[in-house]
A and B are shown apart, each in its own frame.
Chain A
């Protein structure tokens, strides 16, 4: 058996010449199609350069523009020439000047001999093909495309929309089921002859002339009518990115290509000297019969496309700057915002860190400085504790902080005395869970020992700010998990809330709380709040604290049951 190669060339003629010689050295006759857009001088030079090779022919030239009929026409004329001129050819391989054989031709021929009467062509029905660019799959075959997609995008889109609007549909030739796939195939002589000599070919050609990207569907569809066995895969390793543009192989892909066991790869960068020197490379003796395995290549390129289209969540950088309206996740990992807890429990921060192993910061947005965990001046990534630097762009301060230590679960204290520029960012981030004990700011005011009349203005200010934050947290745009309770509600059953917080932060590592944090002594808070009210400042966010005295007494009662009796 003999393998014949059709090579489509439109650029990089020095490399193309090299490839022609590779194929010819392997004993393959080669039919070359040079794009008619190529300058005559370049063309002539190329023809002359390989004039020493006996089994090379040039097909009549068509104009090949991306996605147009010219490409199919080129392969038709080249294939006809191949079958006529070289009767010994049993298989025809369609390649381009940027396709490089990775394994010797003899191994490819042996592979084909092991699969007699089989056509290797990727061919899938349109219903199952998700890789199309431009959003047109089925419609490629039912609309007309008078304008070039690459050159007249607007007219192209307009024509498509108009046809969709009026519900235009072309009739398919009878018996034809549209299939699509990679344009690089390897067909048997019988199948190719059957396609080219089909009496109905003029009708098919007429039809495909106005199909969009016919080079990916002409042979792919017709092969289904003539082939004895279709192996729906391409023997050419060719990967495409999200724009439908082929990935390019460079010198540093050497090992990847060697391990792939593929016969042919494209596209090779024109200056990838190492690749051109290395391949084709005979397989190791135990690998001669190896099937191509593109797993590693697939993974590499699909990761690249994923990086380009989805990126790394929570990362804001020079080439990834998602607008916040389009992103539900603003940060790299979940974190907790705790408002009011450290007012009620003076040692809350240390206690929480011990219970959960999380990264527990103080008030990150305090006005005096950034209170990082452990009170450091500089945090990971080189974040400064300077409040102005933080307030200059609080959103990016937070996203940086979490990105820099994204393997940890961050918690930080927040409150109405803090800089409030971050509120909306917190509220709109699905990674945030926000716990608010409203009115807890009254506890430190009470503990300060100052009288109600002295702290009245301060209390009013804090309440106003907190109320604003609550409004944000209750707005419909909120994506964070929000739990709001009043001070009165909280002190009624603090352990339940703390247990939930710990379970959420530590996950399965959380254990039942054995040691409770020490609560500030709030005996007398109710009277203090009443004083505030008497001053005309109603602390409505604290809840109804008159019951508090009862509460405190009941908590004590657990330890001293005899007081219950006294009640």
Chain B
């Protein structure tokens, strides 16, 4: 059984990698500045589509953390996003008109690029609306985390997705390019996340938060997954399986302790619920390119006329990582 399972998973991993090689052909190189990548550099991988409003803050946020090079895929944006990114000296850009849904939601493209540029580097894989927070991120650059993980012989680092929302209808916010999205979307659900374990891939499956409470209470199984493993010391054979929720080889999914201790972990602050979301929800529901054919977006559109108010009296206002640590959403582990 053990050998059979690992053989099956090995085969599955090879299949994802092969698929990525095929889908890699969809990519057209726009600006390849990867020669500037130094051996120790920390890389960020990201797919975007019509995100010109979000990109400026996104890039500056991760530069401030100490990301050295951005490897980005523009999925057929119709706005100024690609042109903006192209002007940045630390970004290498590819573009594709391929369908998001047909490429495992962009993962095929990224797997291809990761296999090519990430081996030997710490690689952060995030969406444009995900902002990585780790213990001591206000005083220690991401390089410090990477060095410490190296010294501890840890290869992958977990960070749960935390949905952030404003107080009042989401559509009433007015997000402008370059702004910190968490100035308005600064609220989150502190203690309603449920976890189960995937016996095959050994990852945890986390659901909950405002989306489960407001949109999926009647069908909790369909609530979006919040477990993520965004930060990985890459090696050639690695591949993400479903978004950045889980990986193969499956040992990389063991970002949690099973004996009662706490491993070090972070949070991805999710700046999804801004006024941009309301337009998105109806657009993406029609496009049907997202996970499960855009079902999630359809649910939003149905339930709230696409303009929900997620705030409740138990919502917490975001202060810093220490607050998230005390609440038990992330952990310092043995990093002090």
| Known pairs A311-B260, A318-B227, A323-B258; A400 contacts B191 (CB<8 A) | yes
B216: chain A residues at CB < 8 Å are 389
B99 interfacial contact with A, CB 8 Å: no
B148 in contact with A388 (CB, 8 Å)? no
Q: Which of B259-294 contact A (CB under 8 A)?
A: 259-265
Complex CA–CA separation, A400 to B313 (angstroms): 17
Interface centre among A243, A305, A318, A397 (most CB of B within 10 A): A318
Tell me if B194 and A400 are in contact (CB < 8 A): yes
Contacts A245-B152, A321-B257, A381-B314 given; does A393 touch B194 at CB 8 Å: yes
- The answer to whether the Cβ of B118 comes within 8 Å of any Cβ in the partner chain is no
Would you call A326 an interface residue if the criterion is a C-beta within 8 Å of the partner chain's C-beta atoms?
A: yes
Q: Does A127 contact B (CB under 8 A)?
A: no
Quick check: which of A296-304, A340-348, A517-525 contacts chain B, the rest being far away?
A296-304
Q: B5 an interface residue at 8 Å Cβ cutoff?
A: no
A323: chain B residues within 8 A (beta carbon): 258
Instruction: Report chain B residues within 8 Å CB of A554.
Output: none
A382–B312 CB distance below 8 A = yes
Q: A270-B147, A382-B210, A389-B212 are in contact. Are A400 and B193 (CB under 8 A)?
A: yes
B30 within 8 A of A: no
CB distance from A487 to the nearest CB of B (A): 36
Does A350 sit at the interface, judged by CB under 8 A?
Answer: no
Q: Which chain B residue has the least Cβ–Cβ distance from A248? A: B148
**CB-CB nearest in chain A for B218:** A388
Q: How many residues of A contact B (CB 8 A)?
A: 52
Report the minimum CB–CB distance from A14 to chain B (whole Å): 13
Whether B206 lies near A318 (C-beta < 8 A) is yes
A313 to B335 alpha-carbon distance, docked (Å): 19
Residues in chain A near residue B218, CB distance under 8 A: 386, 388
Quick one: which of B152, B213, B265, B328 contacts A384, CB cutoff 8 A?
B213
Spot the interface stretch: B13-21, B51-59, B136-144, B232-240. Answer: B136-144
- Nearest opposing residue in chain A for B140, CB measure: A250
How far in angstroms is the closest Cβ of chain A from B181? 20
Residues in B neighbouring A307, C-beta threshold 8 A: 261-262, 331-334
B177 at the A interface (CB under 8 A): no
Minimum CB distance partner of A302 in chain B: B336
Q: Across the interface, which residues of B come within 8 angstroms of A250, CB to CB?
A: 136, 139-140, 144
Tell me if B329 counts as interface (CB < 8 A to partner A).
Answer: yes
B158 at the A interface (CB under 8 A): yes
CB of A418 within 8 Å of the partner chain: no
Residue of B nearest to A299 (CB): B336
How close is B242's CB to chain A, nearest CB, in angstroms?
16
Contacts of B317 in A (CB 8 A): none
Q: For residues 277 through 321 of chain A, which have their beta carbon under 8 Å from a beta carbon of chain B?
A: 300-301, 303-305, 307-313, 315-321
Q: Chain A residues near B209 (CB, 8 Å)?
A: 382
Q: How far is the CA of A394 from the CA of B170 in the complex (A)?
A: 30
Mark A242-255 against chain B: 1 for CB-CB distance below 8 A, else 0: 11010110111000
Task: State whether the Cβ of A392 lies closer than 8 Å to any Cβ in chain B.
Answer: yes
* Contact of B139 with A319 in the complex, beta carbons under 8 Å: no
> A-facing mask of B188-212, CB < 8 A → 1, else 0?
0111111111000000101001101
- A380 and B191 within 8 A (CB): yes
* Complex alpha-carbon distance, A321 and B254, angstroms: 10
Contact B262 A382 (CB under 8 A): no
Q: State the CA gap A247–B139 with chains docked (Å).
A: 17
- Residue of B210, B221, B260 ringed by the most chain A CB atoms within 10 A: B260
Partner of B336, one of A247, A270, A315, A320: A247
Check if A396 sits within 8 Å of B194, measured CB to CB. yes
List of B residues within 8 angstroms of A242 by Cβ: 334
Kindly provide the distance from the CB of A464 to the nearest chain B CB, expressed in whole angstroms. 28
Bound Cα distance A404, B315 (Å): 12
| Bound: A111/B194 CA distance, A | 57
| Further 15 A-B residue pairs, CB within 8 A, beyond A319-B263, A384-B213 | A247-B336, A305-B334, A307-B334, A308-B264, A317-B330, A317-B331, A318-B158, A320-B257, A320-B260, A321-B257, A378-B213, A384-B217, A389-B216, A393-B194, A393-B220
List 21 A–B pairs whose Cβ atoms lie within 8 Å, in order of A's numbering.
A245-B152, A250-B140, A271-B144, A308-B261, A308-B264, A311-B331, A319-B257, A319-B263, A321-B204, A321-B258, A327-B260, A380-B191, A381-B192, A382-B189, A382-B312, A386-B213, A389-B216, A389-B217, A393-B195, A400-B192, A403-B191
Closest 9 CB pairs of A and B: A381-B191, A308-B334, A319-B265, A304-B336, A382-B189, A386-B217, A392-B220, A252-B139, A393-B194
